[in-house]
Amino acid sequence: MKTTALVLVDIQTDFCCGGALAVPDADAILPVVNGLMRGFRRIILTQDWHPPGHVSFASSHPGQRPFDHIALPYGDQILWPDHCVAGTPGAAFSPGLNLPPEATVLHKGIHAGVDSYSAFLENDRRTPVGLDALLRETGVGEIVLAGLATDDCGLHTALDARTLGYEVTVVESGCRGIDAHGSLADAWKQMARAGVRLG
């Protein structure tokens, strides 16, 4: 029998209020997410875990600034401020997150030369991040998704989940987006077209 898992995306200090790459109003999801965790036995949290000098950092590309775009072998890459460097306080989960001891943590963005938005596949669209294997080995066929940011890592994780055959519900009140140039509305449209349900 297929079961359901709660997948929480990148609820980390650098993406919350005051962080290096803060998502607007991110801290507002914490009560929602803490409530969700009380209703699930299988909980997986993704955690951006970049090495220093990661390819997605503007500081790794002399003359470039945060939010510039560059071409990499796997396609277009947005450059970000340094964020979620492995082992630093910014990479830690938000202190407002009440993590149960049985939760599983999945690191992503760990390879220096490729970024990773989805928790299923890195941005080269070939390298597995690990979520698919983790879900399948525990018999999960449906995920409930929340976290940061809706129009970035949340979107890509939800779309890949649908492509791989999972049923997906995104809890809108448990997400916040960057919303650059209409990206949030576009993300919801993409998810709806892919058969993602809103919860």
How far apart, in Å, do the first and last CA atoms of the chain sit? 22
User: Is 108 designated active site?
Assistant: yes
Retrieve residue 7's tokens: 């997948």
Q: Which helix (H) or strand (E) holds 35?
A: helix 30-37
Retrieve residue 90's tokens: 């910014």
Contacts of 56 by beta carbon, 8 Å cutoff, 6+ apart = 50, 77, 78, 79, 80, 109, 115
Which residue among 10, 14, 115, 132 is the active-site one?
Answer: 10
Nearest to 129 by CA among 151, 146, 106: 106
Which residue among 14, 82, 84, 108 is the active-site one?
Answer: 108
Nearest to 175 by CA among 142, 198, 193, 195: 198
Retrieve residue 40's tokens: 């699930």
Which residue among 16, 84, 153, 175 is the active-site one?
Answer: 153
User: Is 179 designated active site?
Assistant: no
Enzyme catalytic residues: 10, 108, 153
